[in-house]
Amino acid sequence: MSSSAQLHLLPWLLLRRAGAGPAPPAGHTSLAAALHAGSCAGIAWSLRHDLPDRRTTVLLAASGVPAAVAGLLAADLVEARLGRPGPTAALLAAAGVLMWAADRRPSTVPTVGPRATAAAAVAQVAALAPGVSRAGATRTALRLLQVERRAAERFSLLMSLPVTAGAAAWMLARADRPASGELAVGVPLAALTSAAASTVLDRRGVHTTTVAALYRLAVAAAVAVRLSRERSP
């Protein structure tokens, strides 16, 4: 599940009083930067023994360009249009269902080539939307093209590193107040979670994908129930 979705939805579900709007808490940008930085560190740790070769490095460098450009040009617009609980939950549910369906595709392509990289790069742009994770979007695109599960997982995690690190730096630069507290809590927590999730997904494969999809659907359903209650007289 994307860090942006968790940052938007979980506090809103658990802490906001009924009828209150989904305004982000103080330190929202700082905490988002901490979660991105921690996720990047956790993924890097999980891949520490699996460094890419020269061909993969070139593909990775090229794959990050569309998402980086789109982020600089449209991140604020996308956040303004889709950052509310309803659209975020809808995107979260749709991403979960698509990820689950894609992972049922047969594995006929052993490695990630230029065509698959281009598809994953486009998919990573979709992760600008709250509710869509970078690694999840790229993994879904690769599995739809029948890339072997472990190769898709490894490449999607590697792809997420430069863009996630860049997003963390950009958010930290835009933070509205000192971020020491958020960084002290958010970075290690996100790092541990990301490292554990990456390790489990690598070992458990399709079963973990099912759990991840169900978790997304459960959070989306909780948001739908909350919105329905707030709208009822």
Q: Which of 30-39, 63-72, 221-230 has the lowest mean pLDDT?
A: 30-39
pLDDT in tens, 119-164: 999 999 988 888 888 888 999 999 999 999 889 988 988 888 888 8
Note the pLDDT of residue 122. Answer: 92
User: Where residue 26 falls among pLDDT bands split at 50, 70, 90?
Assistant: very low
Which pLDDT belongs to residue 110?
Answer: 94
Among positive and negative, which fits the CA dihedral 184, 219, 216, 117? negative
How many whole angstroms separate alpha carbon 208 and alpha carbon 196?
12
Residue with tokens 């739809």: 144
* Mean of pLDDT values over 172-197: 73
Q: What pLDDT was estimated at residue 22?
A: 47
Beta bridge partners of 109: 147
Give residue 93's pLDDT: 92
CB atoms < 10 A from the CB of 154, how many? 21
Please say if the pLDDT value at position 17 is more than 60.
Answer: no
- Picking from 144, 205, 148, 193, the residue whose alpha carbon sits closest to that of residue 3 is 193
Question: Which of the two residues, 30 and 78, has the higher pLDDT score?
Answer: 78
pLDDT tens by residue, 37-86: 888 888 888 888 777 788 888 888 888 889 888 888 888 888 888 878 88
Give the per-residue pLDDT at 148: 92
Residue 114's CB: how many other CB atoms inside 10 A?
A: 12
Residue 25, pLDDT score: 46
| Higher pLDDT among residues 81 and 116, named by residue | 116
Instruction: Report the predicted TM-score, pTM, of the whole model to 2 decimal places.
Output: 0.75
Name the 3-class secondary structure at 206.
helix
User: DSSP alpha helices (H): ranges in 21-148?
Assistant: 28-46, 54-82, 85-102, 114-126, 134-144
C-alpha 123, offset from chain centre: 11
Tell me the average pLDDT of the chain.
Answer: 80
Instruction: Determine the Cα–Cα distance for residues 192 and 176; give it in Å rounded to an integer.
Output: 26
206 pLDDT band, cuts 50/70/90, is low
**Across residues 11-26, what is the average pLDDT?**
55
